[in-house]
Copies of this chain bind each other. A is one copy, B any other.
Amino acid sequence: LADVSKIATDDYVGFTFFVGCMAMMAASAFFFLSMNDFDKKWKTSILVSGLITFIAAVHYWYMRDYWAAFEESPTFFRYVDWVLTVPLMCVEFYLILKVAGARKSLMWKLILASVVMLVTGYFGEAVYNTGSGPAVWGLISGIAYFYIVYEIWLGSAKKLATEAGGAVLKAHKLLCWFVLVGWAIYPLGYMAGTPGWYDGLANLGLNMDVIYNIGDAINKIGFGLVVYGAAIAARDKN
C-alpha cells in the first residue's frame, strides 16, 4: 500500500510542512551542485549551507508525515533538527571570518551558547511545560540567545568582520540581521505554543508550527543564500 495520507484542503499547517520539506530539498541540491564554482574558502561555507538545508529536508520529511498522521506538533524532531543546524550556523560565522583571522574559540563560544539556548528551550517547551516552567526556561534560553546576538553584533566577531571588509563584512552584517530578526521568530512561536504571561499572543490566532516553519525557511535557506551571494560577490571582484 502506498505511503500517502489524505490531507484536508484547508490544512495550512500541513501545507507549510510540505512546502518547507521540498524547499529544503531543492535548496540542498542547489548548494551542493553549485559549490564547485567557487574557490576553497567559499566552497566550504556553501557546503555547510547545503548541510543545514539537507538536515532540515530529512527532518521535514519526517515531520510532514508526523503531522499528516497525528495532527500534532512534532516538537521532538524540531529540536533534533535545531541542535544540529544551529551549531552549524555558528560554524558558518566562523568560516566566513576565518580569512580575517577568527579563532576556533569564537566558534566554540557560539556553539556552546546555542546548545544552552536549545536545551533550555526544550525543557520549557516539552518537559517543564506547565505553570511557570515555559516562562522561566524560556527566559534562560533567551539570555543565551542574547549572548549570541551580542557576540556577533558587538563582540569580537564584529571586530574581525570590520577588519576584513568587502564581501566578508557585507555577509557578516546580513547574517547578523538574520540572527537578530529571523531567529526572533522562534521565541514568538514558543510563546504562541506554551502557557505563560505572554498568553495574549496565543489569542492572536498564531499557530506555533506555521511560525516555526516560516522561521526555518527564512533562516536556513535565506542564511545559505546570503553566503552564496557573498561568494558570488567575492568571485566577481577577483
Interface positions of A (Cβ within 8 A of B) = 1-7, 9-11, 15, 18-19, 22-23, 25-26, 29-30, 32-35, 37, 40, 43-44, 47, 50-51, 54-55, 58-59, 62, 65-66, 68-70, 72, 75-77, 79-81, 83-84, 88, 126-127
Contacts and interface: CB of A to CB of B under 8 A. Distances in A.
The quantity of this chain's copies bound in the complex is 2
19 contacts: A2-B66, A2-B69, A3-B3, A4-B69, A6-B70, A10-B126, A10-B127, A15-B80, A19-B83, A22-B59, A22-B81, A22-B84, A26-B54, A26-B55, A26-B84, A26-B88, A29-B51, A33-B47, A33-B50
Nearest to A19: B80
Contacts of A65: 2-4
Tell me whether chain A's interface is mostly helix, strand or loop, or mixed.
helix
A3 B61 CA distance: 10
A104 to B, nearest CB: 11
A16 B10 CA distance: 27
Contact of A3 (B1, B19, B33): B1
Contacts of A29: 32, 50-51, 54
A30 B55 contact: no
Given A9-B75, A22-B84, A126-B9, A66 B4 contact: yes
A45 to B, nearest CB: 12
A68 B74 CA distance: 15
Which of A33, A47, A50 has the most B CB atoms < 10 Å from its CB? A33
Contacts of A30: 47, 51
Contacts of A70: 4, 6
